């Protein structure tokens, strides 16, 4: 069981990440700055938060459904356990409208996920065959 996610604030008045309800999986991250998110563009938004994922985990940054429904989605978003800097959120505006992100606005959610890092072993070809083979991109039906 994961017991805690350690964090610190880069500045004293940074809002603490919150869970909207007792059943929420993600901790909401807020913008630490006012940003204009231009139509069809990407912007990196500071949060003023640093975290320390527990051993055996990483944190995934995910879109919030309210913003995603307006065409604003989180890109990238893996926070490795050895990253010690401020969390910055890559937001992509797929909409045709400019969006103003205000300081303190909820922009992403942090989800703690277990991680396994296997040894990477190279083979001249992969052992075994499968019925699927190299068929992909819709080959199993749409």
> Could you state, in order of their start, the residue ranges of all structural domains in the chain?
6-114
Strands 78-79, 42-46: parallel, antiparallel or unpaired by DSSP?
unpaired
Please write the tens of the pLDDT for every residue from 77-136. 899 999 999 999 999 999 999 999 999 999 999 999 999 999 999 988 877 767 777 767
Domain 6-114 fold: Deoxyuridine 5'-Triphosphate Nucleotidohydrolase; Chain A (2.70.40)
Q: Which two tokens stand for residue 127?
A: 């052992």
pTM of the model: 0.86
């Amino acid at each position: 069981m994961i017991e805690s996610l350690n964090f610190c604030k880069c500045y004293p008045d940074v809002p603490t990440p919150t869970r909207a309800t007792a059943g929420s999986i993600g901790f909401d991250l807020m913008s630490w700055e006012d940003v204009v998110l231009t139509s069809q563009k990407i912007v990196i938004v500071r949060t003023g938060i640093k975290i320390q994922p527990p051993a055996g985990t990483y944190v995934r940054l995910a879109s919030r459904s309210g913003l995603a429904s307006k065409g604003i989605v989180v890109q990238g978003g893996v926070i490795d356990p050895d990253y010690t800097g401020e969390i910055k959120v890559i937001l992509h505006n797929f909409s045709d409208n400019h969006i103003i992100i205000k300081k303190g606005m909820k922009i992403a959610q942090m989800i703690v996920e277990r991680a396994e890092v296997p040894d990477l072993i190279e083979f001249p070809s992969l052992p075994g065959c499968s019925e699927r083979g190299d068929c992909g991109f819709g080959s199993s039906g749409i």
